[in-house]
Structure 1
Amino acid sequence: MQSAKSMSNTLKQKIQPGAHVPKHLTIVLTASFLLIVLCVLASLAFGSRFVQWDQLMAGLFHSEVDSYGATVVRERIPRTVFSFCCGAALGVAGALMQAVTRNPIADPSILGVNTGASLFVVCGIAFLNISTAGQYIWLAIAGAMVTAVFVYGIGSMGRGGATPLKLVLAGAATSAALSSLVSAVMIPRTTVMDEFRFWQVGSVGAGSWSSIAAFLPFLVLGLVLALLSAPALNALALGDEVASGQGVRTGVLRMTAAFAGVILCGAATALAGPIGFIGLLSAHLIRFILGPDLRFIIPLSAVAGAVILTISDVGGRLIGSPGELEVGVVTSFAGAPLLILLAAGMKVRSL
């Protein structure tokens, strides 16, 4: 059996800043580009009405064409862009939470962060009469931040500190309690309940250019902070002592990376609802393909998250045709079995 010291050295070699680029990175990037193109075309073509290829091209490249099919394509463009933005944000948020907590099953939905954002948004609508996307985002970020701090504090209590299992249990308990509060706020208020009963499930159907414009600054800020933190997070994966020895300020790093994750998760939740498991699926997929180096995991988790969410949205439209099945339901069906497999395989140890 490989010794702990040998395993640590192996991991260190894999994630050192000077480590070689994975041999199959070019293949992964090419496949990612092709998947993005296919997802865009599928999102524009499929729905309550299937759009033929000529109408699809007309809607994309010929603004003078005003046929029904071309008009449908133009109306689906903002939804597709919005889906990619939300998926990228949730994918990176999941990768950051796994790195900061050193918990391989950390995810905004599992740790209760999505639910905290939902509670603040619902309370803002019910008690403060907020109505704009910008107001939703600020409240959701505040709720996500408070919940993340609370869950980490609860999970850190007792012997052993914030172990992966304790964090998951704290997140599950917190999420259940906050979900009850969300229901308690919504049920007596018919207007609030009617407006957000589908939002609470998670959907990208309301994506528009105005919501994308409100979301974009938070997406850019979160992605920049995540990418800047990636090399230091690699050092953190070797342990706090090793990271400190390499000059990493572990406390500041954790706060910065967690802040980036909260921004991304909160903003996405505010506009699309609490969509679960995207971060878990994305980060695990990229880690399985490329290894543990966060310099590659973080940017490619954005791509994987965007692709997974968009595929789930298209799948929901096809399954629920002529209506649609909300994307939050589809991602839950896909993510729950993965979570069960990870737990059953005893993979809840530290990364």
Structure 2
Amino acid sequence: MLIILLGTALLCALSVVSLFVGSGSIEAATVVEILGKFITGETPPIGERNTDELLILDRRIPRTLLAILVGAGLGVAGALMQALTRNPLADPGLLGVNAGAMLAVVIGSAVMGSSLGFSHVWLAMAGALITSVAVYVIGSTGRSAQSPAKLVLSGVALAAVFSGVSLAISLSMPQVFDRIRFWAAGSLQGRSTSELETIFPFILAGVIIALLLPRAVNALSLGDDAAVALGGRPMLTRVIGLIAITLLSGAATAAAGPLTFIGLIVPHALRMLLGPDYRWLLPMSLLAAPILMLSADILARVVVAAELPVGVVTALLGAPVLIALTRRKKVRDL
């Protein structure tokens, strides 16, 4: 409970800091005044807002909420992925969801010939869904059907193919590369309430589904035979878990691009702190991942004069941690 209280306080503090930090230099007193008007409902209509009001109300607030949603989606999806594959270093990207979402956005940008906008969210969700179905179909046929290793190998293979196709299209069509380059690097810059409203139902549905699975996932983590002996249904658990991962990862990727390490580091670190019980790991991932995501987004705004994509910061933070984790004896023994 102490960890939950401290985590909640830290998330609230980071959310407040996020509203005061950005590429535009706005005085703290001005931010407080604008937020005060926003809370009391005295803000002018969008067409009558000045530059500072537009930056705070239409950019920083949606961006802060979006960072929290994206972090929550990736964190819970990562914990669930590690449970279904029984691999503490698994990541939602192993199922190819990110690569499928990116391919759909690249194809959509090439066909529609316009800049990324509201439609790319639906394109990314469609790509994530198609990829998840393909991974499940491939992984559930033949011998050892629906084994964790087979699902992961299917996802890795499809991710490699989809990433190669996306790269080929982008390199052969420079205008497509120019449209998607910031999104592909993982960025929350320029996001508005439209993306926030679009992905919120998917994140909410995925979180609800995931929070209904801890007992089944605990049984599954012991192995299929042990899960069946305890009254579990491994096949059904994997199908439902795959649906939740698709919703969470697809929506997060649609909003912020193919981010890495958030879904890997947070569940693994929490497992070292709290133990292997997913009745704690899933809810705590829902709290801890937004903290890491929001921290990375704040650093991305201030670390250099020109704002960095948040995906660059998460990679710089995550790579050393991943190296340290892989050097641990318990990880080497997996």
Same-fold call, TM cutoff 0.5: yes
| Superposed displacement of residue 172, structure 1 | 5.4
Q: Which residue of 1 is the match for residue 291 of structure 2?
A: 307
Q: 2:15 aligns with which of 35, 40, 60?
A: 40
Measure how far apart 1:341 and its partner are.
Answer: 2.4
* Aligned pairs for 1:283-302 within 5 A: 283-302=267-286
Give me the whole-angstrom Cα distance separating, in 1, the residues matched to 2:270 and 2:36.
Answer: 33
Q: Is 1:340–2:319 an aligned residue pair?
A: no
Displacement, 1:71? 4.7
What is the alpha-carbon distance in structure 2 between the residues aligned to residue 142 and residue 319 of structure 1? 35
Looking at structure 2, the residues matched to 286 and 114 of structure 1 have their Cα atoms a distance apart, in angstroms, of: 23
1:82-117 deviation line (CA, Å, top 9, x unaligned): 111111101111001000000111102355431222
CA contact (8 A) 1:112 1:147 kept: no
- Segment drifting more, 49-58 vs 60-69: 60-69
- For 1:329, the aligned partner's letter is V
Secondary structure of the residue that 2:172 maps to in structure 1? coil
Q: Deviations over 1:96-139 (max 9, x none)?
A: 10000001111023554312221122123323669614522432
**Which 5+ residue runs of structure 1 have no aligned equivalent?**
1-25
5+ unaligned residues in a row in structure 2: which ranges?
Answer: 44-48
Contact kept in structure 1, 2:210 and 2:241, CA below 8 Å = yes
Q: Residue 330 of structure 1: which of 305, 309, 313 is its match? A: 313
Question: Contact between 1:119 and 1:179, CA under 8 Å: does it hold in 2?
Answer: yes
In structure 1, the residue matched to 2:123 is 136
TM-score, L = length of structure 2? 0.85
Residue 59 of structure 1 contacts residue 71 of structure 1 at CA under 8 Å; is this kept in 2? no
Q: What aligned pairs does 1:1-351 form with structure 2 within 5 A after superposition?
A: 26-63=1-38, 64=42, 69=52, 71-74=54-57, 75-127=59-111, 132-146=119-133, 148-149=135-136, 162-163=148-149, 174-321=158-305, 323-346=306-329, 347=331
Query: Aligned pairs, how many?
Result: 319
Bigger helix fraction:
2
Partner of 1:16: none
Kindly tell me: are residues 343 and 171 of structure 1, through their superposed partners in 2, closer, same or farther at Cα, counting changes over 3 Å? farther
Instruction: Note closer, same or farther for the CA distance 1:279–1:213 as it changes in structure 2 (3 Å cut).
Output: same
Displacement, 1:46? 1.2
Deviation for aligned residue 1:72 = 3.1
Q: Which letter maps to 2:225?
A: E
Is residue 120–residue 142 contact of structure 1 (8 Å, CA) maintained in 2?
Answer: no
Q: Does the aligned pair in 1 maintain the 2:121–2:251 contact within 8 Å?
A: no
Across the aligned residues of Structure 1 and Structure 2, the Cα RMSD in angstroms comes to: 2.7
Q: Distance in 1 between matches of 2:81 and 2:309?
A: 25
Cα offset for 1:194? 1.5
- Which residue identity lines up with residue 270 of structure 1 in the other structure? A
Q: Which moved more, 1:184-193 or 1:222-231?
A: 184-193
